[in-house]
Structure 1
Amino acid sequence: MRQAGALLLLGLLGAAPAARAQDPAGDPRAGRRLAGGTCAACHGNDGIAVQPDAPSLAGQNRSYLAAQLRAYRDGTRRHEQMSVVAETLDEAQIRDLAAWYNSIEVEATVPGR
């Protein structure tokens, strides 16, 4: 009985990465780790751009971000740095990055109100 339980647990643990890869929403924590090493130099640690020619990504729509990263990856959208970076991203990484930037809450103040 104990062996069957251990085998079941191992089976579930083994299935977790496959189930994770199918998560259409992505994992913001994994995206944060990836962004810190890959994206922060231009887009900032918190998604607020530090380079004048880079957009801020904090609070951006998840579907939009994922679509743009896919476009850079497959060459339908070109940018000197982004095309090179996106070529290395797999689908799960794209979803994770999109989830991370989407999870950052941004507050805007409209002048004169």
Structure 2
Amino acid sequence: MSRAAMINAKHCLFVSVLAACAALAACSGDEGHDSNAEQRSSSAGLPKGQIEAGEKQANTKGEATGQSCIDCHGAEGNDPLDATYPKLGGQHTDYLAHALQEYRNGNREHALMSNQAQGLTDQQIADLAAYFGSRPAQIRDLSGAH
């Protein structure tokens, strides 16, 4: 390859990289920016949860079962009524939100939780996830337990 051809090839590569950078910069502008994106959970697609509203919701008896979240999962979600019930305190908010959405949508089934979650709005789910996610974690790492 001649020296002129090498210079031309490097120039073409440089121009291509520059064009790609310009295209990426244009895509990262505010055009088409979802103004509600900051209000949404990172993966659950829910509105931003409010801890105080979630605490109130966690203590409210549900119409379907007559139970509140606290009745079964305990104070701050860390003292379950039954050893088979999960501790919710300190869990990832996205995990909690996804689980509640799945119970509500019928994709995850449990005799109590399916009915309890059925009437929850997206905002209530986000609030509950924010509340329980903000509580101290008392979850045990079971690695090496067996």
TM-score in terms of structure 2 length: 0.56
Counterpart in the other structure of 1:43: 73
Task: Tell me how many residue pairs correspond in the alignment.
Answer: 90
In structure 1, runs of 5+ residues without a counterpart are 1-18
Counterpart in the other structure of 2:125: 94
Counterpart in the other structure of 1:78: 109
Instruction: Give 1:52 deviation, angstroms.
Output: 1.9
Once the two structures are overlaid, the 10-residue window that deviates more, 23-32 or 66-75, is: 23-32
Counterpart in the other structure of 2:57: 34
Q: Identify if the C-alpha distance between structure 1 residues 109 and 57 changes in structure 2 by more than 3 Å, giving closer, same or farther.
A: closer
1-side partners of 2:119 and 2:139: how far apart?
Answer: 33
Aligned 8 A contact 2:49 2:130 in 1:
yes
Aligned 8 A contact 2:90 2:138 in 1:
no
Counterpart in the other structure of 1:7: none
Letter in 2 for 1:69: L
1-side partners of 2:84 and 2:129: how far apart?
Answer: 20
Sequence identity of aligned pairs in percent?
Answer: 39
Question: Larger % of helix: which?
Answer: 1
Instruction: Give 1:46 deviation, angstroms.
Output: 1.4
Q: Identify if the C-alpha distance between structure 1 residues 53 and 27 changes in structure 2 by more than 3 Å, giving closer, same or farther.
A: same
Q: Identify if the C-alpha distance between structure 1 residues 91 and 52 changes in structure 2 by more than 3 Å, giving closer, same or farther.
A: same
Letter in 2 for 1:41: D
SS in 2 for 1:95: helix
Instruction: Give 1:109 deviation, angstroms.
Output: 8.0
**Where does structure 1 differ by over 3 angstroms across 4 or more consecutive aligned residues?**
107-110
2-side partners of 1:31 and 1:80: how far apart?
Answer: 23
How big is the alpha-carbon RMSD for the aligned residues of Structure 1 and Structure 2? 2.1
TM-score in terms of structure 1 length: 0.71
Aligned 8 A contact 2:103 2:114 in 1:
yes
Alignment deviations for residues 12-59 of structure 1 (CA, whole Å, 9 cap, x no partner) = xxxxxxx9xx56330011100111122011101211123222111000
Larger radius of gyration: 2
Counterpart in the other structure of 1:16: none
